[in-house]
Amino acid sequence: MVQSSIAIGALAKRAGIAASTLRFYESQGLIKATRSAGGQRVFARDVLRRVAFIRFAQSVGLGLEEIRAALKALPDQGTPTRSDWGQLSSACRPALDRRIDSMIKLRDRLTSCIGCGCLSLETCALYNPEDTAQALGNGPRYLLGDEPPPATKRG
């Protein structure tokens, strides 16, 4: 006989996380629990797949808001179908593409300059002469999408 629900401790063990993490996910609206007759949190078995997705999404740098938005593509009840997971994957793609682009920029610029914002130098003859990036705002401006002036662009 297949169990329709799983206790929080068993789910935590299967997912490889602490029960407190499951309670946090629940408080954030990422997963749902019900209560047993004895008042214990219990979860539908399909929550294990949602938790696996949450953990993976976090490992690639997606934030809780992005994960929450992606999970909205799944049905509230029952095990998601292949089509449901396809919709969720499509919903995540733009955020993942942005992260990939950002990582490529970081990799390619790390050996020379990452767009300043480091505050260790007032000027950078290679990428930020006369600290022109400061006028664009705080942080690593060129990694955040701002373009350096044409005369300082490097390949």
Same domain membership, residue 119 and residue 72: no
d(CA 70, CA 89): 8
Tell me, yes or no, whether 9 and 82 share the same domain.
Answer: yes
Domain, as residue range, for 45: 5-101
Strands of the sheet containing 5-7, edge to edge, are 5-7, 41-44, 34-35
Task: Give the pLDDT mean for 72-92.
Answer: 77
What is the per-residue pLDDT for 119? 47
**Selected residue with higher pLDDT from 152 and 142:** 142
Statement to judge: residues 19 and 43 lie in one domain: yes
Residues 87 and 24 in one domain: yes
Q: For residue 24, what pLDDT is reported?
A: 96
Cα 47 vs. chain centroid, distance in angstroms?
19
The answer to whether residues 74 and 123 belong to one domain is: no
User: Please, which residues have CB within 8 angstroms of residue 48's CB and are 6 or more apart in sequence?
Assistant: 6, 11, 14, 15
pLDDT at res. 16:
94
Radius of gyration of the chain (CA): 22
C-alpha to C-alpha distance for 22 and 51, rounded to whole angstroms:
8
CATH number, position 50 = 1.10.1660.10
Do 74 and 149 lie in a common domain?
Answer: no
How many whole angstroms separate alpha carbon 45 and alpha carbon 92?
23
Q: Is this model's pTM higher than 0.75 or not?
A: no
Q: pLDDT digits over 119-138, tens only?
A: 445 556 566 666 777 788 88
